[in-house]
Amino acid sequence: MFRLYIAALLATTLTSTAPSREVAVTIDDLPTASVLGNDLQAAQQTTATLLAALTRNGIPAIGFVNESKLRTDGQTDPRRVALLGQWLDAGFELGNHTFSHVDFHSTPLDEYEREVLDGEEVTKRLLQEHGKRIRYFRHPLLHAGRSASERQRFEGFLKQHGYTVAPITIDNYDYVFAAAYDRAGARPDAAAQKAIADAYISYMEAVTAYYEQQSIAIVGREVRQTLLIHASALNASTLDRLASMFRARGYRFISLDRALEDPAYRHRDGYYGPAGITWLHRWAIADGKPGTIFKGEPDVPAWVEQASR
Ligand SMILES: [Zn+2]
C-alpha cells in the first residue's frame, strides 16, 4: 500500500514538473528603474541582486537599455556603464529601449529614430567588446505606432540598422507594485514591503494563468511566452519566487531568440490604437476577434495602487 502511494506520488510529480511551457524573460528600463530616482548605490544593489538571481535560476534574460540613465550631470558615468558591463559579463543579452524612453505616439518619427541611434552608442560598443552585436528593439510603453505607414517606415529603419522588434505576450503592471515597494522601502517599512512582494507574486501568477488562456483563445495553443518586467528593486528581491512560480506551472526559461522562433510571432500586428498592449491582443485585433475574449485580466489590488502613489 505504502509502495503504491509512493509510486503514485512519483508519477504525479514527474508529470507535473515535466516542463512543457516556455517563457523568455525580458527586462526593461536598464540599468534600473525606480520611482525614487536614479541613485547610484541603489542601482548597484539592484543590479547585483537581479543578476545573481537570474544566474541562480538559469534564466537567459535580455535587458533593454535607456542610455540617458547612464549620465550623471549630463556626462556618461563609467560607474553606470559598468552596470551594463555586469549584464554582459554574466552572459546576458542587451537591447535598445531608446535613449530617453520616448513615446512613439507623441514623438515625430525622425526624432524617434534619432532616439534609437542615440540609445545604442554605449550598448553597441559594450556588446562588441563581448563579441556580440545589438539586435533587439523594445518600444517604450509598448507604443508601436498609430498608423500602418508610420509603423512600416519605422520597421524599415530598424531593419536597416540590424534590429528586430522584441514583442511581449505577458503584459502586466509590475511597475505599480515596484513603485509601492520602493516607497515602503524609503520609509522604511519592511512589513509593508513583504506584503507588497507577496501580493506581487500572487498577481503575477494570476496574470500568467490569464495569458495562458488568452494564448489558447487567440492562437489556439500556448505559444512560447515572452514576459515583460522592469529592472526594479522589487524584481531583484522577488525573482527567486517569480522563477519558482513559473517552474511550478511547468515552464522552462528560454532565450528571446528561441521564443521568437515560434511561428505565432510572424502574425501581423493589427493594432493602431493609443494603448500599449500585449502582442497576443494585437494578433487578435488583426484577426478581427471580438473584444470580449480579452476579458478577465487580473487587477492590481487597490491598496497596492494607492501605496504606489
Ligand atoms: Zn520601458
pLDDT tens string 232-278 = 999 999 999 999 999 999 999 999 999 999 999 999 999 999 999 99
Q: Decide if pLDDT at 17 tops 60.
A: no
SS3 per residue for 159-209: HHCCCEECCCCECCCHHHHHHHHHHHHHCCCHHHHHHHHHHHHHHHHHHHH
Q: What is the mean pLDDT of residues 3-8?
A: 50
Average pLDDT over residues 191-212: 98
| CA 294 – ligand 1 centroid, Å | 23
pLDDT at 6 over 90: no
pLDDT of residue 18: 56
Whether the per-residue pLDDT at 300 is higher than 70: the answer is yes
pLDDT at 1 over 90: no
Q: How far is the CA of 101 from the centre of ligand 1 (A)?
A: 6
User: Residue 10 pLDDT > 60, yes or no?
Assistant: no
- Per-residue pLDDT at 286 exceeds 70: yes
CA distance 284 to 182: 35
Residue pLDDT, tens place only, 113-154: 999 999 999 999 999 999 999 999 999 999 999 999 999 999
Helix (H, G, I), strand (E, B) or coil at 24: strand
Q: How confident is the model at residue 167 (pLDDT cuts 50, 70, 90)?
A: very high
DSSP 123: H
**What is the pLDDT at residue 272?**
97
The three cell numbers locating residue 12: 504525479
Distance 141 CA to ligand 1 centre (A): 6
- % residues pLDDT > 70 (the chain): 94
CA 194 – ligand 1 centroid, Å = 25
Burial of 25 (0-12, 13-18, 19+ CB in 10 A): buried
**C-alpha 4 – ligand 1 centre gap (Å):** 52
Mean pLDDT of 285-290: 94
What does the pLDDT look like over 21-45, one tens digit per residue? 999 999 999 999 999 999 999 999 9
For residue range 207-243, list pLDDT tens digits in order.
999 999 999 999 999 999 999 999 999 999 999 999 9
CB 158 within 8 A of CB 137: yes
CA-based torsion, 167, 161, 83, 140: positive or negative:
negative
Tell me, in angstroms, the distance from the centre of ligand 1 to residue 208's CA: 20
Looking at every residue in the chain, the average pLDDT score rounds to 95
pLDDT on residue 19: 65
- 65-97 pLDDT tens trace: 999 999 999 999 999 999 999 999 999 999 999
Grid coordinates representing 200 are 506581487
pLDDT for 229: 98
Give the pLDDT band (50/70/90) at residue 175. very high
Q: How far is CA 71 from CA 80, 138, 158, in A?
A: 8, 21, 25
Å from CA of 137 to ligand 1 middle: 11
Measure 206 CA to ligand 1 centroid, in angstroms: 22
